[in-house]
Amino acid sequence: MKKFMNTAETMVAESVEGFVRAHEAFVVFGAERKCIRRRHLTSGKVALISGGGAGHEPMHIGFIGQGMLDAACVGHIFTSPTPSQIIAAIEEADTGAGCLLVVKNYDGDLMNFEMAIEMACGRHSLDMVVVSDDIETSRTGESRGRRGVAGTLIVEKILGAAAERGMPLDELKQLGEGLNTRIRSMGVALNGVTVPQTERTTFVLGPGEMEMGVGIHGEPGHARQPFAASDAIIGHLCEAIFGDISVTRGSRALLFVNGLGGTPPAELYLAYNGARRFIEEKAMPIERSLVGTYVTSLDMQGLSITLALLTDEEIALWDAPVATAALHW
Query: Would you name the residues annotated as active-site residues?
Result: 56, 217
The CA distance from 42 to 65, in Å, is 11
Q: 99 forms bridges with which residues in the sheet?
A: 47, 126
The CA distance from 261 to 220, in Å, is 16
Q: How many CB atoms lie within 10 A of CB 98?
A: 18
The CA distance from 318 to 275, in Å, is 21
In 3D, which of 121, 125, 131, 120 has the Cα closest to residue 51?
Answer: 131
C-alpha torsion sign, points 161, 164, 167, 173:
positive
The CA distance from 46 to 304, in Å, is 31
In 3D, which of 318, 300, 296, 322 has the Cα closest to residue 309?
Answer: 318
Omega within 30 of 0 (cis) for the link into 83: no
Q: Torsions phi, psi of 119, nearest 5?
A: -80, -30
In 3D, which of 327, 162, 320 has the Cα closest to residue 256?
Answer: 327
Instruction: Classify residue 205 by its DSSP letter.
Output: -
Indicate the SS3 state at residue 163: helix
Q: First vs last Cα of the chain: how many Å apart?
A: 38
Could you give the strand order of the β-sheet that contains 286-292, starting from the edge strand earlier in sequence? Answer: 223-226, 209-212, 183-189, 302-310, 252-259, 286-292
